[in-house]
Amino acid sequence: MRRPVVGVIGNAHRIEDRFATQMVGERNLRAVAEVAGALPLMFAGSPDITDIGALLDVVDGILLTGARANVHPTRFKTEPCAKHEPYDIYRDEVALTLSQVCVARGIPLFGICRGLQEMNVAFGGSLHPEIRELPGRMNHRMPRLENGEIHPDPTVVFADRHEVSLTPGGAFATILGRDTIRVNSLHGQGVLEPGERVVVEGVAEDGTIEAIRIADAAGFALGVQWHAEYDPQLNPINRALFQAFGGALVANKRS
């Protein structure tokens, strides 16, 4: 029996500031393969070489991963600022269109970190480039040493840092079997205003939006702000999410 296939979006990256590449973090690929039970298929976050129609004829679902680049502010009618770079405008174009088409066609869609943000923007929402600058918000960026360098220990970087309250009876509470969870936190940008069809189902202690679903989607269409791909092999929360995604893939799998 053929395994479901998941398209995993790539990110623009330059090696030695010379060689243009597309990059996908291996943890995303392993989460798809080892927990969702699917075959991960990397595709370019570039409209010049990724035909969305052809892609969706091949895959059974889409994973929109986290990334260093922010969604370009012009996508939600805001002026860009150099201090909030880098941007990846080509990924923006692919991911926002994919979000809309997947939801319309019932193709399972799972957004992580930037992926959640892309889903929100795709349905008319806006983002704040530095969520910690809003009154009453905590610093959601990854832990750093006193000298400003990123902490070298990934168990510290990806440790659970705050609680998320889930909507009772909602999609996430149903999948996870609880109304409160603890998650990691590694983002600067975050949701400011939810899009028209974006239903907020998870909120951090400081009010930051952490989990969304797309209303009236024909299939699985969920996004999380934390990095669920880090440890779903061991973390019961993240494992349940990738398993639910995997179940949706099986239901949508092409013969």
Q: What's the full length of the chain, in residues?
A: 255
pLDDT the model gives residue 158: 78
**In this predicted model, what pLDDT tens digit does every residue of 221-245 receive, in sequence order?**
999 999 999 999 999 999 999 999 9
Q: What domain range is 160 assigned to? A: 5-252
pLDDT in tens, 70-129: 999 999 888 887 778 889 999 999 999 999 999 999 999 999 999 999 999 999 999 988
Neighbours of 177 (CB within 10 A): 9
Tens-digit pLDDT profile for residues 162-216 = 899 999 999 999 999 999 999 999 888 899 999 999 999 999 999 999 999 999 9
**What's the CATH number where 196 sits?**
3.40.50.880
Residue type, 78: T
pLDDT for 1 = 67
Tokens read off for 85: 């770079």
Question: Sorting pLDDT into bands at 50, 70 and 90, what band is 138?
Answer: confident
What sign has the CA pseudo-torsion 20, 9, 119, 211?
negative
DSSP-derived letter for residue 16 is: T
Catalytic residue numbers, as ranges: 113, 227, 229
DSSP secondary structure string, 161-173? Answer: -EEEEEPTTSHHH
The domain total for the chain is 1
Torsion of CA 207, 200, 85, 232, to 10 degrees: 100
Place 144 in a pLDDT band, splitting at 50, 70 and 90.
confident
- 165: closest CA among 131, 206, 137? 206
